[in-house]
Amino acid sequence: MAAYKARLKAFEDTLNNEKIDLKTLRKLCFNGCPYEHGYRSTCWKILLNYLPLDVSQWKEILQKQRKLYAHFVDEMIVEPGMKASAGHQVDDHPLNPNPDSNWGAFFKDNDMLLQIDKDCRRLCPDLFFFQKATDFPCKEIIHADSRVETLRKRVEHCVLQSESLQVDRFGKSNMIATNLGYSLFTLYLYANLTPGQGYVQGMNEILGPIYYTFASDPRNEWKEFAEADSFFCFTNLMAEIRDIFIKTLDLDAECGIGSMMAKFSKKLKDKDEFLYNRIQELDLKPQYYAFRWLTLLLSQEFPLPDVLRIWDSLFADENRFNFLICICCAMLMSVRNDIINEDFPTVMKLVQNFQLSKIDLQLVLAKAVDIR
């Protein structure tokens, strides 16, 4: 208890400086951020280059970015919804071949929304947080008297027609007003603002823990803007790892997920050649398991509290995600005996469902530090 109080004091002292010492902050966060006082929420914003080290600039930057996000919502969700509510142009119709046709954009958006929604609904399905109502809903989108009724109808009827929806006592689905719904809108905005990449399956697993952390901030003045803040932190993070979501780079030896899997295999061979050779003997290719581990930053391999702890270290990693490769190697080395003694189907099941191993995360992280 005394040691933990000392850690809380260390975070308090570091974050209360007029200019934050990044080296000290990285060291503290690498060993885990406390939940208390919103320390994790604040630290992640700094480590993901959303907040500068000069604390005196925070207020101005946050106001500017949150205002910009509100502009994105208005421009890409509210205004199109109002136009659609007013009806399409008379000379426009669903079969119009004109690339500027409103209907063409409408159908394309629906396809994207359908994919995002399917993925978001798989986000931590056992965690009530994503199903509960958000504490700070966007009035323009969810209010019953809103002029942007079309957006809700598109999501509920056009996009989600194959899904079962919860309906409130007024006969309206309440999905849009949940944290799940706001994760959907954040990804929708990101996809529209990055047309060269758009939305790729798995991005929901990257956004989820960020949004959860910010929306769980005990400070209401920060929690209120969790959606905007998570959008920009997600965007910054994607700028760093976007190559691993580009399919054409999957086999590239210099960048992309192919390069990361090659580094992972080399690291494992350097640290435990016997285990590496056994994996080769089983023909257990990294594409079968490490592809997901590396692409999604281990967000599907551990319960959410453990994912948050892992991401403390990953975001604090000065070499940006080299430690991720060390953790992946440590995971295999933690189940070394099973891999050596079991057959291919058993080992495959284990590495594709690592939670079944019930290996303590602290043991994995300690081994990863040794590997590093």
Condensed to tens digits (0 to 9), the pLDDT of residues 353-362 reads 998 788 899 9
pLDDT of res. 173: 44
pLDDT of res. 108: 61
List, for residues 281-317, the tens digit of each pLDDT value: 999 999 999 999 999 999 999 999 999 999 999 999 9
Instruction: List the CATH code of the domain at 247-371.
Output: 1.10.472.80
> What single string gives the DSSP state of each residue in 45-99?
HHHTTSS-SBGGGHHHHHHHHHHHHHHHHIIIIIHHHHHHHT---TT--TT---T
CA distances from 256 to 241, 289, 296 (A): 8, 16, 13
Hey, what amino acid is at 326?
A: C
pLDDT of res. 150: 46
Q: Could you give the CA distance from residue 228 to residue 45 in angstroms, rounded to a whole number?
A: 12
pLDDT mean by block of 10 residues, the chain; 372 residues: 89 96 97 93 98 97 96 83 56 46 54 81 77 71 50 50 41 54 83 88 93 94 94 95 79 77 95 97 94 94 95 94 95 96 95 88 95 92
Closest CA to 368 of 320, 324, 305, 309: 324
Radius of gyration from C-alpha coordinates of the chain = 23
pLDDT of res. 83: 62
Q: Could you give the CA distance from residue 107 to residue 110 in angstroms, rounded to a whole number?
A: 5
pLDDT of res. 190: 93
Q: Hey, where are the domains in the chain?
A: 56-242, 247-371
